[in-house]
Amino acid sequence: MAFFTTFFTIILQWYVWVPVVILLGYLTWRNNRQVDVLREVESELLILEIPRANDKSELAAEQMFASLHGILRDARELKINDGYQEHLSFEIASVGGQIQFYVWTPRALRNFVESQIYSQYPTVQIRTATADYTAHEQQHNVVYTAEVVLAESEFLPIKTFQSFEVDPLAGITGTLAKLEDTDDEIWIQILVRPVADDWHKASDAWVKRVRGGGFFGDAFHPKARWFSQFLMALWQPPEGNMTTVTELSDRDKTRIAEAEKKAAKLGYQVKIRVAYLGDSTTDARLRMQAIIGTFKQYNSTNLNGFTMSHDSFRKEDLNRYKLRLFADRGFLLNIEEMASVFHLPHTNVETPNIVWASNKTAEPPNRLPVLTGHAADDENISAFGLTNFRGINHQFGMLRSDRSRHVYIIGQTGAGKSGLLELFALSDIYHNQGYAIIDPHGDFAIENMKFIPEARLDDVVYFNPADVEHPIGFNPLEVTNPAQKSTISSEVIGVLKRMFGDSWGPRLEYILRYTILALLDRPEPTMLDITRMLTDKKFRKETIGYCNDVVVRQFWNVEFASWSEKFQTEAIAPVLNKVGAFTANPIIRNIIGQTHSSFNIRQIMDEGKILVVNLSKGLIGEDNAGILGSFLVTKIQLAAMSRSDILDIHDRRPFYLYVDEFQNFATDSFATILSEARKYGLNLTVANQYISQMEPTVRDAVFGNVGTMISFRVSPDDSPILAKQFEPQFEENDLTQMHNRNFIINMVINGEKAPAFSATTLNLPEAKRSHLSRIIEHSREMYSQSRQTVEDTINERIHPGSTGVSVTLAGQTGTSAASSATTTGEGTAKRRRRRRRKPANGEARDEQAAAEPSSAKPDKQAKKP
């Protein structure tokens, strides 16, 4: 009784409670001041994504926390900074059914924090969160928050990873993964603030008290320790510390040993918060109980552990979580304990729903052409990428001299190929380079023209076969250089063979070759004349009269003439079927039926003009797009090779050819283009989706001759083949797990291969002012004719005197005519008008000619040899 009387007497003395009030007031002021400072600090929330193959254990995390301890301010710095010591927040959140790891840091410390994380987790992907996941709590009706605190003295350790047989993180993430409703969320926040080694002295003092029995023993909760120590100082005289040595229990011996071991390492002040967001109070309690239960796996008998405190259903309490407030001192954990509570998952964690790093990154080469912002330095760089290694983002591109070694791009649909092509072409626009685009979809072509400035409008030739009212002429059989006749013949046959390879035969190719060779000696031949050559005796006789090749004349005058009529019909039927399927389509016929091409590809190349070809398969049909595109690639190749008449190779102006889904247009001669085009200033950039789309000869040419290879995300079937191109920096799995717009590149720099590295595509700028409509109108005016004029001209050539009568070519069967009508791309009303119109006399004669090829009418306008 005397003890309590004395105790209350002391408490009521002014020299006791006044200092207490002053102390509490100071602590309150300091906490409020720290809150104000924290609100003013600019911060960033970083997302941490680690590859699934991560083999870094908790030891890496321990070393990471040891390095991060370097943000500790000394006494002088704290005084200057109003006593404010920066802290970090390591967080795990299950949002939208996905589990992600975060680190919150003051912006001034970001680079340091990133570097320390990278040093221990070299393969981690760190990126800035576009939005804070805590910003949408209003969407939930129930918010339940709590803190995880120590159950015993902070000088006693919790159970660490050294004592676990399985990764303790798996228990935490496993609980997060069990959310039945993906709208429910669980957030875990671990605030850490480094403390000076002074806490070791406090730990030593605690050990001494335990050894000596202590005034209050260890019965008090850690939060009452300061009050316990205060009372001890008042009650106990200095000589009171001279206590007799008592015999320690085994429990106390263990606690002392473990406390001393804990104090041997660096320490942090820590605060752990947990939040559940959902729509049910009952579920909230169950989920909170489960997550707190996972923290109790760190509880150790006779030592320390975790328990729940300050739980609340008040939404206002979530603000401390959102603001990452750390106003009080929390509790002490050393770096080993911190690594046990938070580390990045490794191969032993098989929890579903963890967001693993989808793309591995690698360091770019030192010689990488990086944009400087100076026009003179950047003029020779085609910019397209942004490095992404360890948060270092440099805009870079490819030297124009290196693009002569060609570029191959591969990736699944939607991965970013078209955007990369647009960036390359955009660079050509701004640097006044000449280029051609062959686009089987149409989007790339249209988007590119939106960026063409007014100053280059006259440079553009826009070739759109689906513009049926304004057909532009393109004649694959047009001869601009007589020395290329044999090449033209081979290329035309190669194109048709690629399109109809399944039903191709040696006799078909034999007859078709001699047909084309004979037509190439005739003035102004077109693809439409192939059918006439085989079905019209008079036209054939006139054509042979123009032929100067003895072997070709021998075939027609001797071999073909010796065939019986039945055998001739059987021999030419496959040719008529294949060629007729192509030429019967009115859209295609009005283009290839014109004797002269509306544009000169050699002139476009030499003068640095722009050719944009829109071969939208949805408008003109896949086969038609494939054949037209193949003919165009062939013509561009021939135009490039004709530059051999420019003796100095440096005078051959570079010209850039972009071909999307290039496998649709690649013949067996594509290998020749890749190996020889650079000599003539033709630089290819080609793209497709997967390797099996390419013929073996084309595939071998690509992998054997392309200088720069760029891979977006690909299929598991392609990754083993492509991985060989990017070794040793990347493996098969790296190619299948990339985000959109992320790519791996093995590029040529100054003529030499550089190690593979990773990057992302640059953002496409907004077109300041689109001149698309003016470009279309200009091309129509300069390069096209009206459909009626073209059809009248074709009709006049095939049926002299029948101007105005529509043409159905000889050799077209009823089936092919019907099929072509469905792919014309013309308006519904126009198709209805055609169906209502009665067949003209010319059409009836053509149908008869299709049934009896040898009876076709001759061309009275054909010139005599």
Collapsing DSSP states into helix, strand and coil, what is residue 250?
Answer: helix
Q: Are 655 and 683 in contact (CB under 8 A)?
A: yes
pTM beyond 0.85: the answer is no
Q: Is cis: bond before 222, omega within 30 of 0?
A: no
What integer pLDDT is reported at residue 843 of this predicted model?
A: 36
Asked if the domains at 41-197+266-341 and 387-467+602-785 fall in one CATH topology, the answer is no
Rounded to 5 degrees, φ, ψ at 824 are -75, -25
What is the token pair recorded at 215? 């005034």
CA dist., res. 161 & res. 57, Å (int): 10
> Closest by alpha carbon to 746, among 281, 374, 409, 356?
409
Question: Would you call 254 exposed, middle or buried from its count of C-beta atoms within 10 A (0-12, 13-18, 19+)?
Answer: middle
Class of 387-467+602-785 in CATH: alpha beta
Residue 387 gets the label, from left (phi > 0), alpha (psi -120 to 50) or beta, of: beta
What is the token pair recorded at 763? 């953002």
Q: Taking the chain (865 residues) in consecutive chunks of 10 residues, what is each chunk's mean pLDDT? A: 59 60 66 61 92 90 97 85 87 94 96 95 90 85 96 95 92 89 89 93 90 55 50 51 64 92 95 95 94 95 94 93 92 97 92 87 94 88 93 92 96 94 96 96 94 94 96 94 89 84 82 94 93 92 93 94 92 88 87 95 96 94 90 92 91 95 83 86 95 89 92 95 93 90 96 95 90 95 94 84 40 35 35 37 36 35 35
What integer pLDDT is reported at residue 796 of this predicted model?
A: 87
Helices (H), 155-249: 168-177, 198-212, 225-235
Contact residues for 217 (Cβ-Cβ < 8 A; gap 6+): none
How many C-beta atoms surround the C-beta of residue 19 within 10 A?
11
Q: List own/partner pairs for 14-23 with CB under 8 A and 24 or more apart.
A: 16/234
Q: How many CA atoms, within 13 angstroms, populate the side-chain half-sphere of residue 439?
A: 28
Q: Are 550 and 785 in contact (CB under 8 A)?
A: no
Residue-wise burial string across 55-78, b where 16 or more C-beta atoms lie within 10 A, e elsewhere: ebebebbbbbbbbbbebbbeeeee
Q: Which residues pair with 105 in a beta bridge?
A: 44
What is the domain partition of the chain in residue ranges? 1-40, 41-197+266-341, 387-467+602-785, 475-596+786-865
Q: Are 101 and 176 in contact (CB under 8 A)?
A: no
What integer pLDDT is reported at residue 803 of this predicted model?
A: 39
Please state whether beta strands 267-278 and 142-150 pair in parallel, antiparallel, or not at all (unpaired).
antiparallel
Q: Are 859 and 535 in contact (CB under 8 A)?
A: no
Write the DSSP symbol of residue 101. E
What is the token pair recorded at 19? 């200092």
CATH architecture assigned to 41-197+266-341:
3-Layer(aba) Sandwich (3.40)
H helices, E strands: number in the chain: 35, 22
- Residues, the chain, total? 865
C-alpha separations of 599 from 456, 460, 779 in Å: 17, 11, 10
Question: Would you call 514 exposed, middle or buried from its count of C-beta atoms within 10 A (0-12, 13-18, 19+)?
Answer: buried
